[in-house]
Amino acid sequence: MAIGAIEVFKSSGLVIPGDIAVTGFDGSNLSNYLFPSLTTIEQPLESITVNGLEKLLSIINGFKVEEKLSNDCTFITRQSCGCLSPQRHNFRNRSFSQNSIEDHYHYLNSIIEGEEDKSSLHNMFIEQLNKERIKKELLKDIYFIDCLASRQIEYNKSHNYLVDQWKLRTISNKISGRIYFRDILNEILDSLAQLDINYFKLYLIQEEVIYNNTLNLEDFTINLHLHYQDGSKVINSVEGIKKGTSDLFKSDDSVLVSTLNWNNIILGFFEICFIDMAENTYDILGDVISNSIYTSKIHLQMQDSQRKLEMSLAETRCLNEKLKTLSIRDEMTGLLNRRGFFELSETLLEEAKDNSLYQIFFIDMDGLKSINDNYGHDFGDTAIIELANTLKKCFRSNDVVARLGGDEFTVLIKSDDNYDFDHFKERLKLELNKLNITRKYRFKISASIGTTSFNKSSKSDLYKLLKEADNELYRVKKDKFREP
């Protein structure tokens, strides 16, 4: 870092250490061959590495180690801090040529010869320089400096490459971690700033395009979704919706246009300025954007499919409820049918306490056949519906009221002191009288009732209990219509 700082300061016209003093922590051999040479710290790197690995192995093996690990470093005083006087050579802002060792020799010779204030020491040095042995030794030193400089350049290239790859991995993880399209666009914008990109456009094809040799992109609609230039940004832009790719991109050589693909599907394009990074940067960035956008599309399709599935399941549940209702309800009266009566009654009895007392009523309309024969079946149906509505009024909401078929009805109630057969019989008689007075039909609506009581603990069969109530109804009807 300090070596780089010296080069920057020198390129800015600053004199080191006259205008600014520089010290470093590089400890590199190259520090001694700079002009001015760098005051720095020399670290025992080998010792630090060995000691660090030993401590790490001790920790892995469960041994206790000292909290601090120290190594002796050597402070080397050179010219960059102003502690030593550097030789004053006028380099005339000229850089070393790394093409050949001879160039270095001639360059050094021209520097010494160019000094106006030559001393006898300089002249002596020039004379010795021309001697072959001295010349060879000097060229060896220059070659050694050349090798160190080349090695440092390669290190810097490797370091920059690793930093670029780390940036790309970080950016790739962030973009790939997004599912929703707008979040992906926001992550792309953040990535552009990290990569020092000042121009970027993202175009996506509205239709799904499968690549083939005869494909003509002029037939498809291309939308501009992201436009970034010098810090200003537009997301989800609706401007620039165009047909085809003609006149869509910049015509100059400062940008690169790349296709966004997922397998053989062409998703769109991105337009990007050239950046000082590895050659594979554009490919990696394109692959990450392509995969993320396609994943977002698949996610949206899955959400849409899930939404349709949920709607379909809701419709199916609704239809099932309707089918279930139809299977347990009487279409004419809306009361439970025979199947519904037994299902609901059995459920009710299973949940009841053992000492609960219940009654079953078997109800039969009087004279339905006569109504049908004298007034028609429509009036017969009307009479059945009127009786069903009257039964609804007479019973509680938690009583099980059903039409078994024809003119036969049944009811299951839980008995108590104020709610039993006699109570219901009087209530039904009163309601039917009101009905006959208000409706003023040409016929009278009446009904006969048979009943049976049981305790849940008796575990009597519901079908047998209903049969007992039916037998009681038969006796009631026989007495009711017995000829005098």
Contact call for residues 23 and 80 (beta carbons, < 8 A)? yes
Q: What is the 3-state secondary structure (H, E, C) of 375-419?
A: HCHHHHHHHHHHHHHHHHHHCCCCCEEEEEECCEEEEEEECECCE
Contact call for residues 67 and 23 (beta carbons, < 8 A)? no
Q: What is the pLDDT of residue 83?
A: 62
Listed as own residue / partner, the contacts of 453-456 with beta carbons closer than 8 Å and 24 or more positions apart are 453/357, 453/358, 453/359, 453/415, 453/421, 454/357, 454/358, 454/359, 454/360, 455/354, 455/355, 455/356, 455/357, 455/358, 456/349, 456/352, 456/353, 456/354, 456/355, 456/356, 456/358
Q: What is the pLDDT of residue 100?
A: 40
3-class secondary-structure state, position 204: strand
Q: What is the pLDDT of residue 342?
A: 92
Q: How far apart are CA 135 and CA 193, in angstroms?
A: 52
Q: How far apart are CA 261 and CA 265, in angstroms?
A: 6
Q: How far apart are CA 484 and CA 475, in angstroms?
A: 16
Q: What is the pLDDT of residue 213?
A: 74
CA terminus-to-terminus distance, the chain: 128
Q: pTM score, two decimals?
A: 0.46
> In whole angstroms, how far apart are CA 426 and each of 388, 399, 430, 431?
17, 17, 6, 9
Q: What is the pLDDT of residue 447?
A: 92
Contact call for residues 249 and 255 (beta carbons, < 8 A)? yes
Q: What is the pLDDT of residue 364?
A: 93
Q: What is the pLDDT of residue 85?
A: 41
Beta bridge partners of 364: 408, 448
Q: How far apart are CA 74 and CA 40, in angstroms?
A: 9
- Fill in the amino acid letter for 175: I
Q: What is the pLDDT of residue 14?
A: 79
Residue 36, preceding peptide bond in cis (omega within 30° of 0):
yes
Q: What is the pLDDT of residue 456?
A: 72
Q: Which two tokens stand for residue 45?
A: 């790197």
Contact call for residues 47 and 71 (beta carbons, < 8 A)? yes
User: Containing H/E element for 10?
Assistant: helix 2-11
pLDDT in tens, the chain (484 residues): 777 787 778 777 777 777 788 887 766 666 655 667 778 877 777 777 777 777 777 777 777 777 676 777 777 777 777 665 433 333 333 333 333 444 444 544 554 455 444 444 445 555 555 555 555 555 555 555 555 555 656 666 666 677 777 888 888 888 888 888 889 988 888 888 888 888 888 888 887 788 777 777 677 788 888 888 887 777 665 444 555 555 566 556 667 888 888 888 888 888 888 777 666 778 888 889 999 999 888 888 899 999 999 999 999 999 888 888 888 999 899 999 999 999 998 888 888 777 788 889 999 999 999 999 999 999 999 999 999 999 999 888 889 999 999 999 999 988 776 677 788 888 888 999 999 998 888 899 999 999 998 887 666 688 889 999 999 999 988 887 765 4
Going from the N-terminus, what domains does the chain have, and what CATH number goes with each? Answer: 1-88 (no CATH), 177-301 (3.30.450), 338-480 (3.30.70.270)
- Fill in the amino acid letter for 417: D
